[in-house]
Amino acid sequence: IFARMAQLISACETRRPASPAVHSRATRLADALVVGAGFAGSVMAERLASAGQRVYVIDKRPHIAGNAYDEYDSAGLLVHRYGPHIFHTNSDEVLRYLSRFTAWRPYEHRVLSQTEHGLVPMPINRTTLNQMFGQNLADDEATASFLASLAEPRAEISSARDFVVASVGQELYEKLFYGYTVKQWGIDPSELDRSVTARVPTRTSDDDRYFLDRHQCMPYHGYTRMFENMLDHPNITVLTGTDYATMPRHRFGHMVFTGPVDQYFGHRFGELAYRSLVFEHETRAVEYAQPVATVNFPSLTTPYTRCTEFKHMTGQAHPMTSLCYERSSAEGDPYYPVPNPKNHELYKRYEMLADAEPSVTFLGRLGTYRYMNMDQVVGQALATARRLLVDTTERMNA
Ligand code: FAD
Ligand code: UDP
């Protein structure tokens, strides 16, 4: 229905093009058009709507929630269609804001990596070292000095490879990082920014949680329900299955664009690199298939990077279980910006174009070409909404 409405709207516009003067505020469809119903777009839409603006939110996918979309599969298991999403943050503000739209289930994520020494904790911790090197390290101090004996310090740490080798040495780099990173990104780790592998820093303790943030939890009824609550506002109209290209842009005031920034500008300077993923979902007639939510496969002989069993994360009681294998790909929907100097330079050129477009705000992982977690995107959207609303008030008062 939403897609049809959008088609009708744009068909009317094609037949009866209007001059900007005709579309005064009274004849506008809405004050703001938000492209993308993921975290960036939905938070922005909610903030603008709560400040009294009429907002249209569109998404080319047939659903809201962007990459965080979850749904019940045919066996009745709650799964994340676009791979595992675990909420973690150190921001009280972000947690407080999202808590308006959901209750939470406490959850701490754990990951094991499959190696010739069996399943070992990732990120590398004391247990990982004891298992892989047959050690009996008993405390942080002993672990730190063992790590120092493995580490290969270097003057400059710029790449994803440098970061790992400098902190844990070549052997652990090859066994736990090299293959995973090559599969995930399709390039050698020496061609990626250090920030990529810095996401999984080594520990000297035996803490085996994947994240150390103060707040770690999952939306009690899932992400999609949380987004439904966020977008359930009388000032918000949601159109799914609707591409930006089909919308009558001139019938809206401001626009928030959370799709790929290079696409918005018609790839004027060339295409920014994105990494895509293929998600293979599998339902099994066993209660649990893995000891933890995620098992990583760092070997190049396994095509997948990781496999996630959702029930660990959702806490759902069910006699069956659902798994998701992730395989990386150059083709397909853009999921990850590829952080390296070349892409950064190209993005800077698009950012200059974006900054020169006063009636459009670019936001989110794709709109600002940044490898951000969900909480960072929410934080970015909240801060941007505040700025935008102050600007609007100042314009109206001027
Ligand atoms: P998106 O969720 O991508 O939303 C953008 C939306 O814009 C999309 O729905 C898209 O369809 C729509 N769109 C694009 N172009 C158009 C167009 N032309 N017209 C209409 N609509 C358009 N973060 C965490 O914090 N924890 C995790 O555990 C975690 N796991 C992840 C696992 C995977 C496999 C991936 C890929 C990401 C993960 N993330 C995780 C990151 C998280 O997904 C992002 O931070 C967040 O979803 C970004 O929100 P966004 O709104 O910027 O982008
Ligand atoms: N990584 C790795 N081996 C692992 C886990 C991570 O080499 O077992 C590297 C890999 O390059 C990956 C990056 O660290 O892309 C960041 O990992 P993270 O789990 O944060 O990736 P995401 O969940 O964002 O896909």
How far is 70 from 66, CA to CA, in rounded Å?
Answer: 10
Alpha helices in the chain (DSSP H): 2-15, 39-50, 92-98, 126-133, 140-150, 160-172, 179-185, 194-197, 223-231, 261-264, 310-314, 341-355, 364-367, 374-397
First to last CA, the chain: 41
Give residue-wise pLDDT tens across range 77-134: 999 999 999 999 999 999 999 999 999 999 999 999 999 999 999 999 999 999 999 9
Give residue-wise pLDDT tens across range 235-250: 999 999 999 999 999 9
User: pLDDT band at residue 391, thresholds of 50, 70 and 90?
Assistant: confident
Q: Is 319 strand, coil or helix? A: coil
pLDDT at site 209 = 98
Q: Whose CA is nearest to atom 14 of ligand 1?
A: 259
pLDDT at site 395 = 75
CA dist 93 → 52, 98, 215, 272 (Å): 22, 9, 11, 32
pLDDT-wise least confident of 108-112, 154-158, 351-355:
154-158
Residue 203 near residue 123, CB atoms below 8 Å: yes
Q: Is a pLDDT exceeding 50 seen at residue 10?
A: no
User: pLDDT band at residue 24, thresholds of 50, 70 and 90?
Assistant: low
Q: Is a pLDDT exceeding 50 seen at residue 202?
A: yes
Tally Cβ neighbours within 10 Å of residue 283.
14
109 CA → ligand 1 middle, Å: 20
Looking at the chain, the whole-number percentage of residues with pLDDT higher than 70 is 93
Q: How far is CA 174 from the centre of its chain?
A: 27
User: pLDDT band at residue 18, thresholds of 50, 70 and 90?
Assistant: very low
39 CA → ligand 1 middle, Å: 7
Mutate to test the pocket of ligand 2, among 181, 182, 373 (most ligand atoms within 8 A of CB): 181
Q: Which residues line ligand 1 (CB under 6 A)?
A: 35-41, 58-61, 66-68, 82-86, 243-244, 258-259, 277, 335, 364-366, 372-375, 377
Q: Is a pLDDT exceeding 90 seen at residue 23?
A: no
Give residue-wise pLDDT tens across range 338-349: 999 999 999 999
Burial class (CB in 10 A: 0-12, 13-18, 19+), 155: exposed
Residue 350 near residue 265, CB atoms below 8 Å: yes
374 CA → ligand 1 middle, Å: 8
365 CA → ligand 1 middle, Å: 7
User: pLDDT band at residue 396, thresholds of 50, 70 and 90?
Assistant: confident
Q: Which residues line ligand 2 (CB under 6 A)?
A: 113, 122, 176-177, 180-181, 184, 196-197, 199-200, 296, 298
For 88, phi and psi rounded to 5 degrees? -150, 140
How far is 163 from 194, CA to CA, in rounded Å?
Answer: 6
User: pLDDT band at residue 17, thresholds of 50, 70 and 90?
Assistant: very low
2-71+88-105+221-271+337-397 is a CATH 3.90.740.10 domain: no
pLDDT at site 397 = 78
User: pLDDT band at residue 15, thresholds of 50, 70 and 90?
Assistant: very low
pLDDT at site 81 = 98
Q: How far is CA 112 from the centre of its chain?
A: 21
pLDDT at site 25 = 66
**Nearest residue to 210 via CA among 374, 372, 88, 82:** 88
Name the average pLDDT for the chain. 94
Q: String of b and e for 257-276 (b: at least 16 CB within 10 Å)?
A: bbbbbbbbeeeebeebbbbe
Return the ligand 1 atom nearest residue 83 CA: 34
- The amino acid sitting at 84 is P
Mean pLDDT to the nearest integer, 142-162: 97
Give residue-wise pLDDT tens across range 280-297: 999 999 999 999 999 999
**Nearest residue to 211 via CA among 200, 202, 222:** 200
Burial class (CB in 10 A: 0-12, 13-18, 19+), 50: middle
**ipTM score of the complex?**
0.99
Residue 121 near residue 115, CB atoms below 8 Å: no
With a CB cutoff of 8 Å and minimum separation 6, the contacts of 211 are 86, 88, 108, 109
User: pLDDT band at residue 69, thresholds of 50, 70 and 90?
Assistant: very high
* Ranges of each domain in the chain: 2-71+88-105+221-271+337-397, 111-197
pLDDT at site 394 = 80
pLDDT-wise least confident of 5-9, 26-30, 146-150, 323-327:
5-9
pLDDT at site 393 = 77
Tally Cβ neighbours within 10 Å of residue 383.
11
362 CA → ligand 2 middle, Å: 26
The pTM for the full model equals 0.94
Q: What is the 3-state secondary structure (H, E, C) of 50-74?
A: HCCCCEEEEECCCCCCHHHCEEECC
User: pLDDT band at residue 14, thresholds of 50, 70 and 90?
Assistant: very low
